[in-house]
Structure 1
Amino acid sequence: MWYECIPSMAIITVALSMGNVAAYTVNKLYQGNAYNRIADEGWDRFLTRRDRALTGDEYKVNGLEVIADDPKQQQ
């Protein structure tokens, strides 16, 4: 019957999700943050440096309120 495929489907689902769980756990333990930010390209490095300069932490979610209206005040 159709329900005989449920154990196989569960095993495959768990096996495929273990990589994501492991990456989340390792990043949380070693970096203190569960989400690893990849800066392989120049634009990504630029955004990482920008976020670190604006808030002190590249992982902190920020909006337009952290950017000064006057560019001279941002330094």
Structure 2
Amino acid sequence: MWYEILPSAAVIYAGLFLPVVSTWAIHKLFQNGNPYRRDRNVPFNMNLILRDEEVINGNTYVLQGLEAIPDE
């Protein structure tokens, strides 16, 4: 019957859901209560974010490699 698929579907959904939840929980525990990886309120992280924005010309969503770093 159709309901025999439910246990295997539950295992698959758990396998897809658990990494997302565990990552969120680990970051919440070890990042001073912030469930996300980067926090602009912490001065050290803010310096890293500003450095990254300067290196990649202000757009953090466009991936660039070593060619984006200017030669001095």
TM-score, L = length of structure 1:
0.48
Identity of paired residues, percent? 44
Structure 1 outlier segments of 4+, above 6 Å: none
Q: Equivalent residue for 1:35?
A: 36
> 1:43 Cα shift?
2.7
Q: Identify unmatched segments of 5+ residues in structure 2.
A: 39-48, 61-72
| Whole-Å separation in 2 of the counterparts to 1:36 and 1:9 | 30
* Count of residue correspondences: 44
Q: Identify unmatched segments of 5+ residues in structure 1.
A: 45-75
SS at 2:15 equivalent:
helix
> 1:22 Cα shift?
1.1
**How do residues 55-66 of structure 1 correspond to structure 2 at under 5 angstroms?**
none
**How do residues 44-55 of structure 1 correspond to structure 2 at under 5 angstroms?**
44=60
> 1:12 Cα shift?
0.7
